[in-house]
Structure 1
């Protein structure tokens, strides 16, 4: 699916982006491996990522995103995860935020 997409990463997260012309909104998927920790920790990380995405501008275009958490994210709190996600999305070309 993402063969013709592009990826951007930092130490904590990887983001795969694929343009989807004709799609109404952007879609986001999250992947947090069992290597990260217990189910409680993985769900905490996914909740933090979802909250960070919620604060982004909803007019990001016709794209699909996949966010993959790496091992260093397990020692971060929600504010640090939010900052890391903003950093990797800025590197990927998403710099607009909800006002």
Structure 2
């Protein structure tokens, strides 16, 4: 995921936090803010030390989150800025669990549309 797709500055992070539009599940908290001047979505990812005491654990989770967002890039509203905050419950997740829980949280937050049943043929 290119850097232009990331919320980087403290000012932008705080603007999204203060929007008070948040949804959570056991593994992730999603904050979102609708912005009309965006040409594509931007995401901020936060994995604190309570989640993983080593940078290796935190960076692995960030890579997994970015991979899921890249997979679902076309499903995300281009006028959103949103934050993905990881909770300690996700500490030992593998890619499959991160994908399942993150898609669930993003669906609850209406960042992406609900996934169609994968067993159905189109």
Note the residue ranges of structure 2 that are not aligned, 5 or more in a row. Answer: 1-14, 116-122
Which 4+ residue blocks in structure 1 deviate beyond 6 angstroms? none
SS of equivalent residue, structure 2 residue 91: helix
Note the residue ranges of structure 1 that are not aligned, 5 or more in a row. Answer: none
Match among 61, 72, 87 for residue 70 of structure 1: 87
SS of equivalent residue, structure 2 residue 60: helix
Change in Cα spacing, 1:24 to 1:5, as seen in structure 2 (3 Å) is farther
CA distance in 2, matches of 1:78, 1:48: 6
The Cα shift of 1:61 comes to 2.4
Aligned to 2:107: 90
Kindly name which structure, 1 or 2, has the bigger radius of gyration based on alpha carbons: 2
CA distance in 1, matches of 2:88, 2:19: 26
Aligned to 1:47: 63
Q: Which has the higher contact order (CA 8 A, sep 6+)?
A: 1
Cα RMSD, aligned residues only: 1.4
Could you say which structure has the higher strand fraction? 1
Q: How many residues align?
A: 97
